Amino acid sequence: MQLTILAFGITRYILGDSELKLELPDGANVEDLKAELVRRFPEFSKLKALALAVNSEYAEKGQALYERDEVALIPPVSGG
């Protein structure tokens, strides 16, 4: 299946762009996607937290992904 990955904050720098098209096998879930991102972009393993939103809604760990889902990478936020 093909997913559209939208990157914000530090994740944009890790990917080198604000958007990425990514192929995953049918039946993949959010954790599979995170593992694939770490495999392709090892810098992701250094993030202490990374939230994902699928089709504009925060995703659960085992949430299934489907063809043409849009996944936003939401990095930790700091500041004050």
Using 50, 70 and 90 to split pLDDT, how confident is the model at 78? low
- For each of the domains in the chain, give its residue range(s) and CATH number, in order of start: 2-74 (3.10.20.30)
pTM higher than the cut 0.85: yes
* Closest C-alpha to 5, from 60, 76, 68, 75: 68
pLDDT tens digit string along 53-69? 999 999 998 999 999 99
pLDDT tens digit string along 25-59? 999 999 999 999 999 999 999 998 899 999 999 99
